[in-house]
Structure 1
Amino acid sequence: MTYLVGYGPRNHDRSAVELACQLALSEPQPVHVVSVVPQGWMTPAASGTDREYQAWAEQEGQTATAQARADLAEHPAVEASAGWVSARSVPQALLDEAERQEAWMLVVGSSEDAEPGRIRLSSKTDRLVHSATIPVAVAPRGYRSNAPVARVTVGFRDDDESWSLLEKTAEICRRTNARLRLVTFVVNPSRRPVTAPISHSETQVIKIWSSHAAAALKKAEEYLAGQGFTGEKLQRQLVEGEDWATAVQGLDWADGDILVVGSSATHLVSRVFLGSSAAKILRNAPVPTVIVPGMAIGA
């Protein structure tokens, strides 16, 4: 079992390596960094241009590998390695490598145009996230941390997918010896909760939904207490805000925090399809976020 890190050639942000090493210190597993370079057409009789292109791609792979090894050298306590592969599709190459390495988590960085300290998926990582069958951890742009994973925050909606996500989050906490924080977001940009299937906008409806959400959180807390999460190991919180940025930033965040969100289980396969709430949480998250595939229909 490994943490597989996607590392782009000419990468100027080592945030994914930093996050993977942080996770590895909390749940000791090897870290393997892989860079994907373009693959030539592999014609039987390669022309001079084809050979030049192949040589350029190999040089890119060697350069990226050397840079990744230099980044990994900053974490001598972590068992780590780096390499490169050539492929037509970066997301598919990473998924194939994850299967070959028996990775239990993929780790990627944010897009180069993300604001420092924020998460934004590039087109390639977006395709990767939506095809993955294992958790995908996304580091904020420029992420650095010397702290182990101390607390895992999970968004809870009291539906089948949320209960499945709760089980998976509890397992992450056990593996990393982290505290678990259970949160329900009530976002009210037009005086109605985005996370609830309620179309009314009256204040009374918001109060009723908040009351139901609080009761659901208590029920989840009682369940987790039965799983060994008691005392300081467990915290629950209901957060309200006029928009997603206000709600997410309304939580106290600290070094050593990670956030877990789940996928929408509207597809027949157990893969990651971000619902609107998870996508909005992801965009506003100030800490590394792990996206967990949802429960397949009929599973």
Structure 2
Amino acid sequence: MTYLVGYGPRNEDRSAVELAAQLARSEQQPIRIVSVVPKGWGTPAAAGTDREFESWAAAEGEAAVGQAREELAEHPAVSGTAEWVGGRSVPQTLLDEATRSDAAMLVVGSSEEAEPGRIRLSSKTDRIVHSSGIPVAIAPRGYRTDAPVTRVTVGFRDDDASRSLLTGVAEICRRTSARLRVVTFVVAPRRRPVTARMAHAETQVIGLWTAQAAASQSEAEARLLAMGFTAENLEMRLVEGADWRAAIDALDWQDGDILAVGSSATHPMSRVFLGSSASKILRNAPVPVVIVPGAAE
């Protein structure tokens, strides 16, 4: 199994390498860092110009590889390589390289516009996330850690894709001795009631959501206990908040935490489609997020 890292030329943020090294330390797997540089068109009429362009692109690639190798050297316990390839589309080239490497996961960083410690997709990473057939791990801007993965938090909802996600993550936790935290978010914005009847109806709906979520969690807990999890390595949480930031911040987050979410099971056209819940979790997460393609097609 290989972790493939997308590494941009002139990259000023090594968060993707940091995250890949953390994942590799947890499962003792190699990482492959790939920097994609522009590829010339090879037209005969522009042969001279194209050669100059290719020389420039190669220099950009070599510089990126040198920088990536320096960053990789800061993780001597991790086995890895760095190289550059030419491509006309960065997302498609990385997806092709992931297939060629038989990679288990594609690791990318956040946009330069992201707040420090938060995740934001660039146009390139957005396409990767929505086109990838394998899980995509996204590092917060400026992410640094020396810890292995010690706990995985799963965003859980009661559908086939979420149950499949939970089963897969549970198996990874068992292999790596990481703790598992299963969280169902109940986000209920505070609103000024127009009438007492409306406030009562809204309270009833929220109460029904909460009861359904609690029942789903109980069923999931029973399955996980049957798989061999114990009270020491399993935590079930039902978290409420007035908005997604408040709900996510209500949890304690530590160095070594990873958050896993599944893609939408209601979008048959995309392998990984970020539904409204996953998108909001991604924007507000203070730790790396792994997006897993939905099992329910």
After superposition, the CA RMSD in angstroms is 1.4
CA distance in 2 between counterparts of 1:240 and 1:257 reads 20
Letter in 1 for 2:61: G
The superposition leaves residues 140-189 of structure 1 with CA deviations (integer Å, 9 ceiling, x where unpaired) of 00000111100000011111111111112112212322110000000011
CA distance, structure 2, for counterparts of residue 176 and residue 19 of structure 1: 16
Unaligned runs of 5+ in 1: 192-199
Name the % identity: 71
Q: Which residue of 2 aligns with 1:197?
A: none
1:194 is aligned to none
TM-score, normalised via structure 2 length: 0.94
What residue in structure 2 maps to residue 182 of structure 1?
Answer: 182
Match of 1:23 in 2: 23
TM-score (norm 1): 0.93
Distance 1:260 1:212 in 2: 21
| 2:254 aligned with 1:254 | yes
| Distance in 1 between residues matched to 2:100 and 2:201, nearest whole Å | 50
Q: Is the CA contact 1:139–1:289 (under 8 Å) kept in the aligned structure 2?
A: yes
CA–CA distance in structure 2, aligned partners of residues 52 and 91 of structure 1: 24
1:228 — aligned with what? Answer: 228
SS in structure 2 of the partner of residue 37 of structure 1: strand
SS at match of 2:228: coil
Q: Secondary structure at the match of 1:231?
A: coil
1:120 aligns with 2:120: yes
Aligned residues: 289
Partner of 2:36: 36
Cα distance in 2 for residues equivalent to 1:259 and 1:251: 12
**Deviation sequence 1:182-219 (CA, Å, 0-9, x none):** 0000001156xxxxxxxx96112212221221121111
C-alpha separation between the residues in 2 aligned to 1:187 and 1:49? 56
Unaligned runs of 5+ in 2: 192-199
SS at match of 1:130: helix
- 1:9-20 equivalent positions in 2, closer than 5 A: 9-20=9-20
Aligned to 1:135: 135
C-alpha separation between the residues in 2 aligned to 1:51 and 1:170? 51
Equivalent residue, structure 2, for 1:167: 167
* Other-structure match for 1:107: 107
Matches within 5 A, 1:141-290: 141-190=141-190, 202-268=202-268, 271-290=271-290
Contact 1:133–1:270 (8 Å) recurs in 2? no
**Residues 38-86 of structure 1, C-alpha deviations (whole Å, 9 max, x = no match):** 1111124543222111111110000000000000000011001000100
Structure-1 separation of matches of 2:242 and 2:135: 30
Give the corresponding residue for 1:195: none
